[in-house]
């Protein structure tokens, strides 16, 4: 006989085991789709792996793709830690992209331009995230729905810009004018696209980990998320913590947009983010909301995305497999998290 | 100015409003039912997309429009059941599961569509639903051709609104749904199965979202494109809140949004006005966010929304 028991604590190795379990389950489930497409499962996953992590150039491409998802993953992880349900990383990313593109188009020395782009992008993302947080703190408005709906507002605002005042009058394409050449992020390895923003993303993860795990603000964020009543009783101004969390979360999502403008596209177009904001939720959940876990989780999703394109060319399996993998991974991870709440225990026949 | 008005407010305009409102009405009613039972379904955007794909594909392969509608509805029910499995049976967080269902369903829709139809320079299309004028009623001046010379799915949406209100407010099952959404503990004590009721409602909601998807790919556009839903699911989430979780008001909100959308399309087509059309598309979201701030004082949202129910927890 087996029985489900409520678990009070989870061993540390769960942090690694659960995401790996979820990813394994995802790859097994999605192999059905590869078989349906008439390709070899191991071949397809093999191509995916080699094309995304098989050589140094592939690795740089995967890292470039991972950078925005590291930022949105951190944004979501920080927010969810405080139980500020920020579903709006997508809109915050777009706001960051627009603001940094605006600044980057102003002629000025390169380093200054890059610094100001980052500040403007982070500020724009933070401002957007502040809206659902303020509505929640002041009016008790549900942050899930308000942050989600803001994504659409920001998207249409971006469209209005690139189809209106920003529209390229020469070509007629709905894209913003490019940023100044001097504002393009420096490429760190000749012959690749590995730009400054990728390194910043990789450094941001341990910094955010330090902030959450070792600082007073981090402590307040955690307590507010785990037990707001206790936090309040302990003298923590819960509302202020939620607003600070929103500012931090939004700034991180905004930086995702800054990196895409400064390091990859050098301008803003309607599809500048293929849903990196929503991918951030997948990344944060796979990472179990741990900022250090965000990096491997984002690299996994990025590898799936870059690998899927090569797999599609080689085997004919539609590259959209990466989208299915992303959704399945999130759902599988949520199910795997049940193991943190319950344990299955063998019960003897006598009892 | 009067010429402008004449150009905008004509039979075709009224008919366009009704057509734009139809998928939103289905989707909004579906989401409303689900939320009245306490389950937020953010899977709506993906469920509509996947249903639009399966409906289109079934019709394209079989030649039967109604078989397509059936496929879309079944798809919606299946994905609704999936969302219910995660959020109701397993009690996982509704917003994250909903995003998961949307990512999964839209990924699957893109994947299967590309697998079945390949990459074609001209996307395949079907001969979609044709308008079906209702005798006598369609002869009423202005309103007749606008409302009673429409697709069968439009008539279904118009009938679905009073039906939804009747089911929700006048049947024992509707009472269970509302109890489960307001006070699941009390519902449980009264012998109502919270889990079963929530499952039924989320699946019903999925069916309605499926109809919304079917309408888009089989009556409005007669083709499946990756942007066929383009945020209409999120609009429905907003309209449910704006319509205060009531079938009539939610449908009214859908009609209001359709009016704004139709107006925007007209102004774009006629080159009138200098307001960017995106400003109109933003309106329902901004209105809803503002409305939420005002409404929160007299809590109208179902009290148990977003809260999983576990019997053993007291």
What is the band of A351 on the pLDDT scale with cuts at 50, 70, 90?
very low
Secondary structure class of B133 (helix, strand, coil)? strand
- Kindly determine whether residue B42 and residue A148, on different chains, have CB atoms separated by under 8 Å: yes
**In total, how many domains does chain B have?**
1
What is the band of A166 on the pLDDT scale with cuts at 50, 70, 90?
confident
Greater confidence, A142 or A96?
A: A96
CATH number of the domain at B293, please: 1.10.3470
Within-domain flag for B311:
no
Give the pLDDT confidence score for residue B135 in this predicted structure.
86
In the structure encoding, which two tokens stand for residue B188, read together?
A: 């449980």
Within-domain flag for B128:
no
Within-domain flag for B249:
yes
Query: How many angstroms separate the CA atoms of A152 and A154, rounded?
Result: 5
Vertex A188, ends A185 and A194: CA angle to 5°?
A: 75
Nearest CA in chain B to A153: B282
Vertex B246, ends B241 and B252: CA angle to 5°?
A: 80
Residue listed under structure tokens 């341990």: A206
User: Other CB atoms closer than 10 Å to residue B213's CB: what's the count?
Assistant: 36
H runs (alpha helix) in chain B: 2-8, 11-36, 44-62, 65-84, 94-117, 143-147, 152-170, 172-182, 184-189, 194-215, 232-242, 247-270, 277-295
- Kindly determine whether residue B103 and residue A330, on different chains, have CB atoms separated by under 8 Å: yes
Domains by residue range for chain A, with CATH: 2-346 (1.10.3470)
B99: nearest CB among A87, A135, A157:
A87
Mutate to test the interface with B, among A86, A153, A304 (most CBs of B within 10 A): A153
Show residues of chain A in contact with B279, CB under 8 Å: 156, 160
Query: How many angstroms separate the CA atoms of A299 and A201, rounded?
Result: 12
Show residues of chain B in contact with A325, CB under 8 Å: 107
Give the pLDDT confidence score for residue B297 in this predicted structure.
59
Give the pLDDT confidence score for residue A278 in this predicted structure.
97
Nearest CA in chain B to A26: B104
Within-domain flag for B130:
no
Secondary structure class of B190 (helix, strand, coil)? coil
Nearest CA in chain A to B240: A145
The predicted-structure confidence for A282-308, as pLDDT tens digits, reads as follows 999 999 999 999 999 999 999 999 999
Give the pLDDT confidence score for residue B22 in this predicted structure.
97
CB of A224 within 8 Å of any CB in chain B?
Answer: no
Show residues of chain A in contact with B102, CB under 8 Å: 278, 327
B103: nearest CB among A140, A321, A323:
A323
Buried b (16+ CB within 10 A) or exposed e, A36-56: ebebebeebbbbbbebbbbee
Q: Which of residues 106-145 of A touch B (CB under 8 A)?
A: 131, 135, 138-142, 144-145
Residue A139 distance to chain B (closest CA, Å)? 6
- Kindly determine whether residue A324 and residue B40, on different chains, have CB atoms separated by under 8 Å: no
Compute the Cα dihedral for B18, B21, B22, B25 and give only its sign: negative
Within-domain flag for B233:
yes
Residue B299 distance to chain A (closest CA, Å)? 10
Provide the mean pLDDT of chain A: 93
**B219 neighbors B129 (Cβ within 8 angstroms):** yes
- Kindly determine whether residue B278 and residue A163, on different chains, have CB atoms separated by under 8 Å: yes
Show residues of chain A in contact with B297, CB under 8 Å: 139
**B277 neighbors B264 (Cβ within 8 angstroms):** yes
Buried b (16+ CB within 10 A) or exposed e, B270-290: eeeeeebbbebbbbbbbbbbe
What is the band of A192 on the pLDDT scale with cuts at 50, 70, 90?
very high
CB of A281 within 8 Å of any CB in chain B?
Answer: yes
Give the pLDDT confidence score for residue B131 in this predicted structure.
87
**A291 neighbors A74 (Cβ within 8 angstroms):** yes
- Kindly determine whether residue A87 and residue B282, on different chains, have CB atoms separated by under 8 Å: no
Among candidate residues B106, B131, B123, the one with its CA nearest the CA of residue B232:
B106
Within-domain flag for B189:
yes
The predicted-structure confidence for A42-85, as pLDDT tens digits, reads as follows 999 999 999 999 999 999 999 999 999 999 999 999 999 999 99
Nearest CA in chain B to A318: B111
Give the pLDDT confidence score for residue B10 in this predicted structure.
74
Domain with B262 in it: 10-117+148-298
- Kindly determine whether residue B100 and residue A335, on different chains, have CB atoms separated by under 8 Å: no
Vertex A323, ends A318 and A329: CA angle to 5°?
A: 130
Give the pLDDT confidence score for residue A325 in this predicted structure.
97
- Kindly determine whether residue A318 and residue B111, on different chains, have CB atoms separated by under 8 Å: yes
Give the pLDDT confidence score for residue A137 in this predicted structure.
94
Query: How many angstroms separate the CA atoms of A58 and A311, rounded?
Result: 13
Total residue length of chain A: 351
- Kindly determine whether residue B296 and residue A156, on different chains, have CB atoms separated by under 8 Å: no
Segment (H or E) for B149:
strand B149-150
Within-domain flag for B313:
no
The predicted-structure confidence for A297-340, as pLDDT tens digits, reads as follows 999 999 999 999 999 999 999 999 999 999 999 999 999 988 87
Within-domain flag for B4:
no
Query: How many angstroms separate the CA atoms of A124 and A93, rounded?
Result: 9
In the structure encoding, which two tokens stand for residue B239, read together?
A: 């309209």
Secondary structure class of B123 (helix, strand, coil)? coil
Give the pLDDT confidence score for residue A350 in this predicted structure.
47
Residues of chain B falling short of pLDDT 50: 1, 314
- Kindly determine whether residue A327 and residue B108, on different chains, have CB atoms separated by under 8 Å: yes
Residue B147 distance to chain A (closest CA, Å)? 30
Distances in Å between the Cα of A339 and the Cα atoms of A21, A306, A342 are 11, 31, 5
Query: How many angstroms separate the CA atoms of A223 and A326, rounded?
Result: 30
- Kindly determine whether residue B111 and residue A163, on different chains, have CB atoms separated by under 8 Å: no
- Counting Cα atoms < 13 Å in the Cβ hemisphere of A21 gives 17
The predicted-structure confidence for B98-154, as pLDDT tens digits, reads as follows 999 999 999 999 999 999 999 888 889 999 999 888 888 888 877 777 888 899 999
Give percent of chain A with pLDDT exceeding 70: 97
């Amino acid at each position: 006989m087996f029985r489900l028991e409520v678990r009070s604590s989870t061993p540390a190795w769960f942090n690694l085991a659960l995401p790996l379990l979820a990813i394994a389950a995802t790859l097994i489930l999605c192999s059905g789709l590869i078989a349906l497409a008439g390709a070899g499962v191991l071949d397809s996953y093999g191509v995916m792996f080699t094309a995304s992590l098989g050589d140094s150039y592939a690795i740089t491409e995967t890292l470039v793709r991972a950078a925005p998802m590291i930022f949105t993953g951190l944004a979501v992880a920080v927010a969810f830690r405080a139980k500020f349900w920020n579903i709006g990383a997508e809109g915050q990313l777009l706001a960051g992209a627009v603001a940094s593109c605006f600044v980057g188009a102003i002629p000025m020395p390169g380093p200054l331009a890059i610094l100001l782009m980052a500040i403007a992008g982070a500020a724009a993302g933070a401002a957007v995230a502040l809206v659902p947080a303020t509505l929640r703190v002041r009016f008790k408005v549900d942050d899930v729905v308000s942050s989600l709906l803001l994504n659409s507002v920001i998207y249409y605002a971006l469209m209005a810009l690139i189809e209106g005042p920003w529209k390229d009058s020469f070509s007629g394409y709905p894209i913003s004018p490019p940023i100044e050449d001097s504002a393009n992020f420096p490429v760190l390895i000749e012959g690749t696209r590995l730009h400054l923003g990728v390194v910043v993303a990789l450094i941001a993860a341990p910094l955010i980990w330090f902030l959450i795990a070792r600082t007073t603000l981090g402590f307040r964020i955690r307590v507010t998320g785990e037990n707001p009543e206790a936090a309040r009783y302990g003298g923590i101004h819960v509302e202020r913590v939620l607003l600070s969390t929103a500012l931090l979360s939004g700034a991180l999502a905004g930086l995702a947009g800054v990196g895409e403008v400064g390091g990859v596209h050098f301008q803003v177009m309607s599809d500048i983010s293929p849903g990196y904001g929503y991918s951030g939720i997948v990344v944060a959940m796979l990472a179990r909301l741990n900022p250090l876990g965000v990096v491997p989780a984002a690299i996994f999703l990025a590898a799936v995305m870059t690998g899927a394109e090569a797999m599609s060319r080689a085997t004919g399996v539609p590259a959209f497999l990466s989208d299915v993998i992303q959704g399945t991974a999130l759902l599988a991870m949520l199910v795997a998290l049940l193991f943190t709440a319950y344990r299955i225990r063998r019960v003897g026949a006598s009892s | 100015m009067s010429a402008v008005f004449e150009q905008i407010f004509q039979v075709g305009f009224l008919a366009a409003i009704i057509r734009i409102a139809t998928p939103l009405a289905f989707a909004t009613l579906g989401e409303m039912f689900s939320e009245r039972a306490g389950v937020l379904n953010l899977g709506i955007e993906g469920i509509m997309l996947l249903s639009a794909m399966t409906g289109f594909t079934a019709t394209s392969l079989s030649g039967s429009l109604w078989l397509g509608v059936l496929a879309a509805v079944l798809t919606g029910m299946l994905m609704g059941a999936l969302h219910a499995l995660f959020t109701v049976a397993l009690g996982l967080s509704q917003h994250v599961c909903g995003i998961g269902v949307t990512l999964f369903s839209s990924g699957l829709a893109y994947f299967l569509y590309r697998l079945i139809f390949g990459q074609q320079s001209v996307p395949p299309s079907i001969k979609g639903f044709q308008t079906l004028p209702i005798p006598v009623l369609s002869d009423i001046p202005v309103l007749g051709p606008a409302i009673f010379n429409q697709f069968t799915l439009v008539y279904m949406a118009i009938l679905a609104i009073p039906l939804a209100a009747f089911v929700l407010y006048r049947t024992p099952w509707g009472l269970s749904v509302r109890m489960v959404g307001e006070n699941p503990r009390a519902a449980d004590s009264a012998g109502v199965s919270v889990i079963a009721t929530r499952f039924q409602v989320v699946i019903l909601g999925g069916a309605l979202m499926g109809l919304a998807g079917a309408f888009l790919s089989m009556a409005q556009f007669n083709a499946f494109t990756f942007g066929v839903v383009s945020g209409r699911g999120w609009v429905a989430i907003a309209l449910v809140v704006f319509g205060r979780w009531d079938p009539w008001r939610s449908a009214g909100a859908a009609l209001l949004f359709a009016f704004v959308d139709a107006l925007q399309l007209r102004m774009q087509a006629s080159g009138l006005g200098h307001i960017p059309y995106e400003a109109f598309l933003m309106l329902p979201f901004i209105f809803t966010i503002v409305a939420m701030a005002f409404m929160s004082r007299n809590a109208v949202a179902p009290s148990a929304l977003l809260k999983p129910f576990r019997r053993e927890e007291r």
